[in-house]
Amino acid sequence: MFNSVLIVCTGNICRSPIAERLLRRTLPKKKIDSAGIKALVGHSADPSAVLVAQSHNLALDGHEATQFTATLGQQYDLILVMEKFHMEKISHISPEARGKVMYLGHWLDKREIPDPYGKSQEAFEYIYQLIEKASQSWVEKLIE
């Protein structure tokens, strides 16, 4: 059983905060956090991510970007990543964690979720929809 989940993206200001808050909302009894491979440590969520989340009644208030470390990786039962690059970096930083790393989009044919950073609000909306769909597919597995 997975009681703790860490969601990882690159900067920890766009994709992973959205996924973290979506999963927290639907799985309130589980420990769910997020981090970045190249985190913008201490930064709040990207303004475009905040806007798209708000448009879906999801708050990213209080988010602060956190750097992924081997120590952090050891604290979670499951680590969900957005891209192959994240999986490779985690394997390098924390080889012992590799066995518990999967794509957030695993149940969507192992689909990667591209980075919307610096792109249009429409791109953020598209990514939000992907993250929401991927997160919902994990909720179904995590509550079984």
Catalytic annotation, residues: 9, 15, 115
Paired strand residues for 79: 6, 101
Q: Where are the alpha helices (DSSP H) in 31-120?
A: 47-55, 70-74, 84-93
Q: Where are the alpha helices (DSSP H) in the chain?
A: 15-26, 47-55, 70-74, 84-93, 121-142
Distance CA 124, CA 18 (A): 11
Q: How far apart are the first and last CA of the chain?
A: 9
